[in-house]
Amino acid sequence: MNAYSTRGREPVVSIADAISAGLAPDGGLYMPDAWPQFHAKEFDDAHTLADVAIRFLAPFFAGSALEAALPGICRDALAIDPPLAGFGKPDDFLLELFHGPTAAFKDYGAAFLTGCLSALPRGDKPLTIVVATSGDTGAAVGAAFHRKPGVRVAILYPDGRVAPRQAHQLGCFGDNVRAFRVDGSFDDCQRLAKTLLADADYRRAVPLGSANSISLGRLLPQAAYYAHAALGHFRSRGQPLNFVIPTGNLGNALACLLARRMGLPVGEIVLASNANDVLPKFFAGEDYTPQPSLATLANAMDVGAPSNFERLQALYPDPAALRGVMRAEAVSDAQIRTSIVRTRETRGHVVCPHTACAAEVLDRLRAAGAGGTWAAVATAHPAKFPDVVEPLLGQTVPLPAPLAAMLARPSRAQPLANDDVALRDLLRRS
Ligand SMILES: *Cc1c(COP(=O)(O)O)cnc(C)c1O
């Protein structure tokens, strides 16, 4: 199978080449040019996430340089089966995607992408992975690439706009993984990374790779965990599972849509945004109008111009058709706070501010009479956001062990001007 650019100006490339490039040379995002179709019963003997992923992803990689490596990559990168926990009511579930090394869902995509990039043949210059992060991506990519030979990572994050614990995590790798605190917003960081990746001349001098949610190498494994969750649920309940997904850059929710498109038993998909409400406005019928991002309590979702919207538009060029495939709701900071408290009281779960958006939206859906079984997606562990969660609940939230080990290390980040010349020089010099 091949991949095309959402801007359509480039010839198609293999999935392996699309993964190694990150962004298409014309500045577009790569999309697979076919959607394999599956029936749930084809997965009857696949129970672990890795086994589901090996089967589900095989058609994408057939005939590419990564075909033979795929099973090994899946077994390494997707070794943790995300639990579908009860969520306080008989038909409500919590899909816990936070059991990896940095306690957020981005660990899955980052580890899979690392596996792919490490399995691809490389020249003798090191590959530089440039990653813009609103908090969690950078740490997941750093953890996945730390001390891997032949690869170095430059993490760009908006100075002062990530939680203190997240900032600590971003700077604690050292060695081949460096953190830069950019004088700007997440959208600025994303623009810096995109501009650099789109510069073919520069990339000849400094080989670059992308690890943002724009990389197909992150999107595909995310689709696999939705397939895994929906299949497990379908086997036990005989019905599709509906999802509420905390959304920023739209990578996680798009992956869920892809799983549904490929025939997996996924029902409705509802996006939970924070106060950055371009998607809720679009799905409610307004034009798509990117905005400067607002800082909120669910900071990993502070995105005013979701990159993956371009992929959605490539799939559904007609806005009316696109509005038919999912819905979106906005959640204010005040509602995040009340949701964190209510979710502990009514559902017995302590959730992070992002997951609280999904819990709030699920409560709204149930109050409006929604039937069926629903999973709220838990995108990060609450212990990553103690400053928000602990005062509201009046309790401490114990750190999961991998996160505690990471936070015990010293942390350092270099300041970086919001300017692509500065970034170019820095990566060329060192
Ligand atoms: C990145 C992130 C999100 C948003 O995911 P997108 O794929 O960008 O929509 C939500 N919650 C957490 C905890 C995140 O780290």
CA of 41 from ligand 1 middle (Å) equals 31
The region of weakest confidence among 13-17, 84-88, 163-167 is 163-167
Structure token pair of residue 109: 């995509």
CA of 183 from ligand 1 middle (Å) equals 22
Given the CA of residue 252, which atom of ligand 1 is nearest to it? Answer: 7
> Can you list the domains of the chain with their CATH numbers?
80-105+217-398 (3.40.50.1100)
What global pTM score does this model have? Answer: 0.91
Judged against a pLDDT cut of 80, whether residue 10 lies above it is answered with no
CA of 273 from ligand 1 middle (Å) equals 10
Residue closest by Cα to atom 8 of ligand 1: 249
Residue closest by Cα to atom 1 of ligand 1: 300
pLDDT digits (tens, 9 = 90+) for 325-358: 999 999 999 999 999 999 999 999 999 999 999 9
Instruction: For CA atoms 68, 69, 70, 75, give the dihedral sign.
Output: positive
278 vs 302, 307, 319, CA distance in Å?
11, 12, 14
Residue closest by Cα to atom 2 of ligand 1: 300
Given the CA of residue 380, which atom of ligand 1 is nearest to it? Answer: 13
Q: How far apart are CA 381 and CA 402, in angstroms?
A: 12
CA of 402 from ligand 1 middle (Å) equals 20
CA of 354 from ligand 1 middle (Å) equals 8
pLDDT digits (tens, 9 = 90+) for 288-325: 999 998 999 999 899 999 999 999 999 999 999 999 99
Residue closest by Cα to atom 14 of ligand 1: 300
pLDDT digits (tens, 9 = 90+) for 26-79: 889 999 999 999 999 999 999 999 999 999 999 999 999 999 999 999 999 999
Q: How far apart are CA 114 and CA 315, in angstroms?
A: 27
Q: How far apart are CA 408 and CA 405, in angstroms?
A: 5
Q: What is the DSSP string of 362-418?
A: HHHHHHTT--SEEEEEE-B-GGG-HHHHHHHHTS--PPPHHHHHHHTS----EEE-S
Q: How far apart are CA 193 and CA 131, in angstroms?
A: 7
Instruction: Measure the N-to-C terminal CA separation of the chain; round to a whole number of Å.
Output: 37
CA of 342 from ligand 1 middle (Å) equals 22
CA of 15 from ligand 1 middle (Å) equals 24
pLDDT digits (tens, 9 = 90+) for 202-217: 988 898 887 876 889 9
Q: How far apart are CA 94 and CA 25, in angstroms?
A: 39
Which of 94, 113, 136 has most ligand 1 atoms within 8 Å of its beta carbon, as the pocket-test mutant? 136
**Can you tell me whether residue 37 is helix, strand or coil?**
coil
Structure token pair of residue 30: 């790569």
pLDDT digits (tens, 9 = 90+) for 164-213: 888 999 999 999 999 999 999 988 998 999 899 888 899 888 988 878 76
pLDDT-derived band at 18 (thresholds 50, 70, 90) equals: very high
pLDDT-derived band at 16 (thresholds 50, 70, 90) equals: very high
Which of 252, 307, 326, 403 has most ligand 1 atoms within 8 Å of its beta carbon, as the pocket-test mutant? 252
Structure token pair of residue 305: 């111009």
Name every protein residue with a CB atom under 6 angstroms from any ligand 1 atom.
104, 106, 135-136, 213, 246-253, 300-301, 354, 379-380
Enumerate residues 6+ apart whose C-beta is below 8 A from 6. 24, 28, 29, 30, 31, 310, 311, 313, 314
* Count of C-beta atoms within a 10 Å radius of residue 36: 16
Q: How far apart are CA 201 and CA 358, in angstroms?
A: 43
Q: How far apart are CA 95 and CA 80, in angstroms?
A: 13
Residue 103 half-sphere exposure toward CB, CA atoms < 13 A = 23
CA of 253 from ligand 1 middle (Å) equals 9
Chain position carrying tokens 């080990």: 405
CA of 382 from ligand 1 middle (Å) equals 14
Better-predicted residue by pLDDT, 5 or 118: 5
* Count of C-beta atoms within a 10 Å radius of residue 417: 14
CA-atom Rg of the chain in angstroms: 20
Environment class of 45 (CB within 10 Å of its CB; exposed 0-12, middle 13-18, buried 19+):
exposed
Judged against a pLDDT cut of 80, whether residue 369 lies above it is answered with yes
